[in-house]
């Protein structure tokens, strides 16, 4: 991998007329060469029949599970989405769970997210998944994008959601239906009835394009035991996060931190090159050049196998890394944990088990859709991968959504402080993970918003 991957020229690569998104407008790449995973000729047109024919060719050429996937007759399906679902690997081989990750998004949304570091919508996330359809418990705002309509309207983590667009929170949780939080178009409205400190209010949000804030909460604090502790939350593995990451680790070095807390509890992944860069800071200079990740394609596409190496950044040389994780820690963020462990770095996971997605995509565009269909699996230097059930926490802690992240009241952060001081992990309470985010419907079904992507993309 180049020592400064951000200097790679911006480009969109075309293979026989089909656009491989590697990515237009992006300048953060890694792996040292172009990807040619897609040699499939383009569709003759954007008609349903031509798109189905193109999809058959693409899956046979580039799908990781091409040999195990069902092969229904395309003529039996009247629309592309139903045919696509029917063609995905169904879990028939005990070595692999069913493919619950392959999906698509609009090319406009995809390019906005990875090319511009932006999203379109309301910018508010709730802790509905964590309730596991138990409508008896409160529904909390768990995360707000600072520059989003929700952030600008003063919605904050810990607000209790009483209703969304007139539907009671208990009804939404029971139905596992939070599609209203995903805007279809700019200008769409979302009405939230909220309660904070006993006072109720109604907030009307208008969907807009806003810049993501992928790195937040950078701080250096002192633990109860007197150790200097560096903290940063990385929400998205996008190239736009790297300047803030570089600045954070420069500060940690300057202030002589003795432990680092990397908060990935809401990080669904992103670019392998970005996760490798962050991991390089944590692995330290001694591991520069060693394997961070190996991306292994199917036997039909094995010429595309890639190796990502730890970079020679001025990183840390600390005895361990404390990672805050949970059911939404997914894909390229799990890859970071696996990559560090592969070179012997002690990684303590505090929180809940991660989502379990050791596979990734080389997105391809066809007729305004960006298809992210599983192309490869990721393993570390020791060949370890296939963590389908996620990584179990070494310190199991249940999140308190009313507590500001990285505050003394935040159970995950408090546990990290205790571990930095050498104290035992707090006794776990009830309410641990039952379902990871990756078990929900795919992007096009509306339950996982465009800014909650579960991605592992090489470049």
pLDDT < 50 positions in the chain:
1-38, 441-448
Please give the backbone phi and psi of residue 285, each rounded to the nearest 5 degrees, phi first. -60, -30
Contacts of 46 (CB under 8 A, 6+ apart): 367, 368
**Cβ(375)–Cβ(64) below 8 Å:** yes
CA pair distance 27, 115, nearest whole angstrom: 9
pLDDT digits (tens, 9 = 90+) for 58-71: 999 999 999 999 99
DSSP letter, residue 304: G
- C-alpha dist (Å) from residue 370 to 21, 102, 227, 338, 402: 8, 11, 46, 28, 36
According to the model, what pLDDT value does residue 436 have? Answer: 63
Rounded distance, CA 430 to CA 398, Å?
7
pLDDT tens for 197-256 read 999 999 999 999 999 999 999 999 999 999 999 999 999 999 999 999 999 999 999 999
Which residues, other chains included, contact 132 with Cβ-Cβ below 8 Å and sequence gap of 6+?
Answer: 434, 435
79: helix, strand or coil: coil
Q: Report yes or no: 262 and 229 within 8 Å, Cβ to Cβ.
A: no
Q: What is the pLDDT at residue 136?
A: 80
- Beta bridge pairs of residue 407: none
pLDDT in tens, 138-183: 999 999 999 999 999 999 999 999 999 999 999 999 988 899 999 9
pLDDT of residue 348: 97
DSSP sequence for 169-226? HHHHHHHT--GGGS-SSTT-EEEEEEEETTEEEEEEEE-EEEE---EEEEEEEE-TTS
CB 109 within 8 A of CB 120: yes
């Amino acid at each position: 991998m180049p020592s400064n991957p951000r200097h790679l020229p911006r480009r969109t690569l075309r293979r026989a007329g089909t656009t491989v998104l590697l990515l237009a407008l992006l300048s953060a790449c890694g792996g040292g060469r172009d990807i040619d995973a897609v040699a499939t000729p383009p569709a003759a047109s954007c008609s349903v029949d031509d798109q189905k024919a193109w999809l058959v060719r693409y899956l046979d050429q580039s799908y990781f599970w091409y040999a195990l996937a069902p092969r229904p007759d395309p003529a039996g399906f009247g629309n592309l989405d139903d045919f696509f679902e029917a063609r995905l690997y169904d879990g028939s081989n005990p070595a692999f769970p069913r493919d619950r990750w392959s999906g698509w998004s609009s090319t406009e949304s995809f390019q906005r997210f990875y090319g511009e570091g932006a999203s379109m919508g309301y910018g508010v996330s709730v802790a509905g998944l964590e309730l596991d359809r138990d409508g008896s418990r409160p529904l909390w705002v768990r995360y707000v994008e600072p520059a989003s309509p929700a952030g600008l309207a003063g919605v904050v983590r810990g607000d209790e959601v009483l209703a969304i667009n007139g539907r009671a929170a208990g009804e939404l949780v029971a139905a596992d239906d939070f599609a209203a939080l995903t805007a279809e178009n700019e200008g769409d409205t979302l009405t939230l009835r909220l309660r904070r400190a006993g006072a109720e209010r109604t907030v009307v949000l208008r969907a807009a394009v806003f810049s993501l804030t992928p790195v937040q909460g950078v701080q250096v604090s002192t633990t109860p035991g007197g150790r200097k502790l560096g903290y940063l939350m990385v929400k998205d593995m996008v190239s736009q996060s790297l300047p803030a990451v570089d600045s954070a680790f420069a500060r940690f070095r300057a202030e002589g931190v003795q432990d680092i807390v990397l908060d990935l509890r809401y990080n669904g992944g992103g670019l392998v090159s970005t996760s490798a860069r962050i991991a390089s800071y944590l692995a330290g200079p001694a591991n520069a050049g060693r394997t961070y990740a190996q991306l292994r394609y199917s036997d039909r596409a094995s010429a595309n196998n890639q190796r990502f190496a730890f970079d020679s950044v001025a990183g840390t040389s600390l005895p361990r890394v404390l990672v805050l994780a949970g059911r939404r820690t997914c894909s390229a963020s799990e890859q970071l944990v696996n990559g560090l462990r592969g070179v012997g770095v002690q990684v303590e996971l505090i929180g809940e088990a991660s989502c379990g997605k050791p596979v990734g995509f080389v997105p391809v565009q066809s007729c305004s859709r960006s298809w992210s269909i599983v192309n490869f699996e990721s393993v570390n230097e020791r060949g370890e991968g296939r963590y389908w059930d996620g990584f179990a926490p070494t310190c199991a802690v249940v999140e308190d959504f009313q507590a500001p992240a990285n505050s003394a009241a935040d159970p995950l952060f408090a546990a990290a402080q205790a571990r930095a001081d050498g104290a035992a992990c707090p006794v776990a309470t009830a309410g641990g993970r039952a379902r990871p985010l990756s078990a929900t419907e795919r992007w096009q079904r509306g339950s996982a918003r465009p800014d909650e992507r579960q991605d592992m993309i090489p470049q």
